[in-house]
Amino acid sequence: MKTVIIGGSATGMGVAAKLKRLNEQNEIVVIQDKDYVSLGACGIPYYIGHNFENPETLIARKIEKFEESQISVISNSKVNKIDFENKKVIFEESQISYDNLVIAVGAKPITPEIKNIDAKNIFTVNSKEDAIEIRKTINDDSNVLIIGSGLIGLEMVENIKHSTAAKISIIEKADRVLKNLFDEEFSELVEKEILNQEIELFKNNEVIEFVKDNNGKVTGAKTINGEIIKCDVVILSIGVIPNTSFLRDTDLELENNGAIKINEYCETNIPNVYAGGDCCSSLSYLYKNTRTFYLATVANKQAKIIANNVNKNKSSKFVGALGTTIIRFFDLELARTGENRMFIDMNSIETKEVLIKDKDHTNYVTGQEDIWLKVIIDVKTKEIINVQMIGKNKSVLRIYGLVGLIWSRSKVDETLEQIDLPYSPPFSRTTDIIHIALSKLI
């Protein structure tokens, strides 16, 4: 049995490794558009922030190691077309046949149509090459403009601030930061920290043109409000879209955003063709709606599901995801899980919610800090459908327990109110913030 995998990141290489473990006789070929595989792209901001020195640390496993396991990797090759009828993948000047095909091409950064966006020193955050160039370019005298205030944008801000004396500005099209993930109360706390760090934040604003000098290097960004933001380095962190443009006008079914439609077995509408990771839409755990998660955790789980089903048809199901996310922003730590506000409002789900501000541990121990917790339940099911937290000193790791409550579909009632959480002065208070929230929801 010959399996061809398009894409050499988390899903693709995860499928390859698992398939080989399941059956050493499986013939596996990976087609990758770069000269490396298994890039830990989530580490890019931390390389730029000088948390480690060697960019090769971003590579979880080298091509040579896969080839030692008899997994063939065709590198520096971009797939141009798939002939689904004849089971052939066409790339560069070659083609290869398959019995099973796995599409794991991931997502690509959104590059907006802005005048002079081709200027020098305008970067995306997507590849090892991006990481090396950004780190080499930014210095203490740089004026860095971050476009977008989502997770990647804020991670870039933190790491550039920690590693250089560069002046940093953020421009955000929405009326607040992290709008797609957190409610307003949490955005306000993050924005306060942005100001505390002496970072200029432009909200309800966007770049319409980049200014460049005679050498083609960016020197400024003209906004829709008319001002020109001085910058010699620009980081595009607006978001990503599925990297599936080569699949349009084929028989493969895609969502409106280009994500590949898959079922619970990670099968597409075409027999023997599977997809997973950032290039596809996936089931949401709670309401079984489809979403594109763009999360490495989801990609890794789907790699296992795909490999199991290629090895033995329909033997493994992907049950869904919650979109659980955690981020550090200077001293602040944020975590969230569950359906977002937009989905809740669009589907007119009747909810009850509580927002609690408390302390993360007792005043017997130094370093006591504020912690905020929002819990939203579905009134009809009495199940938790959204949790948001912000705090310091890893206090938001309570999210692990709350994810467990959501995953098990626990009812918010008097029994759950008495959940036996641990207590010790350095870690919590006798009545933890989780207990307080549950008490107010029953």
* Mean pLDDT value of segment 290-302: 96
- 365-382 as b/e: b if 16+ CB within 10 A: eeebeebbbbbbbbeeeb
Question: Residue 394: its pLDDT value, please?
Answer: 97
148: helix, coil or strand? coil
Long-range contacts formed by 425-428: CB under 8 A, 24+ apart? 425/361, 425/362, 425/364, 425/365, 426/361, 426/365, 427/361, 428/360, 428/361, 428/362
Same fold, 2-39+57-106+242-297 and 122-238: yes
Confidence of residue 96 (pLDDT cuts 50, 70, 90): very high
Question: Residue 90: its pLDDT value, please?
Answer: 97
* Mean pLDDT value of segment 372-388: 98
Q: What is the pLDDT of residues 27-70, one digit of tens each?
A: 999 999 999 999 999 999 999 999 999 999 999 999 999 999 99
* Mean pLDDT value of segment 390-412: 98
pTM: 0.95
Question: Residue 93: its pLDDT value, please?
Answer: 86
pLDDT score of 25 more than 90: yes
Q: What is the pLDDT of residues 331-376, one digit of tens each?
A: 999 999 999 999 999 999 999 999 999 999 999 999 999 999 999 9
* Mean pLDDT value of segment 162-177: 98
* Mean pLDDT value of segment 134-146: 98
Characterize the bridge pairing of strands 370-378 and 351-359: antiparallel
Residue type, 34: K
CATH of domain 331-441: 3.30.390.30
Among 245, 306, 238, 236, CA closest to 277:
306
With 0-12 / 13-18 / 19 or more C-beta atoms within 10 angstroms meaning exposed / middle / buried, residue 248 is exposed
CATH of domain 122-238: 3.50.50.60
Angle at which helix 296-311 crosses helix 10-22, to 10 degrees, equals: 30
Confidence of residue 80 (pLDDT cuts 50, 70, 90): very high
Percent of the chain with pLDDT over 90: 99
pLDDT score of 193 more than 90: yes
Cα–Cα distance for residue pair 442/439, rounded to 1 Å: 6
CA 351 to chain centre: 27
Cα–Cα distance for residue pair 241/325, rounded to 1 Å: 18
Instruction: Identify the helix (H) or strand (E) that includes residue 386.
Output: strand 383-391
What top-level class would CATH report for the domain 2-39+57-106+242-297?
alpha beta
Among 108, 99, 101, CA closest to 269:
101
Q: What is the mean pLDDT of the chain?
A: 97
Domain spans, the chain: 2-39+57-106+242-297, 122-238, 331-441
- Token pair in block for residue 9: 């990141």
Query: What number of CA atoms fall less than 13 Å from residue 143's CA on the CB side?
Result: 11
Give φ, ψ of 247 to 5 degrees: -100, -5
Confidence of residue 163 (pLDDT cuts 50, 70, 90): very high
Q: What is the pLDDT of residues 423-435, one digit of tens each?
A: 999 999 999 999 9
pLDDT score of 387 more than 90: yes
- Token pair in block for residue 7: 């894409």
Instruction: Identify the helix (H) or strand (E) that includes residue 332.
Output: strand 332-338
Characterize the bridge pairing of strands 100-103 and 2-6: parallel
**CA 324 vs CA 20, 145, 261, 296, 390: distances in Å:** 30, 28, 21, 11, 14
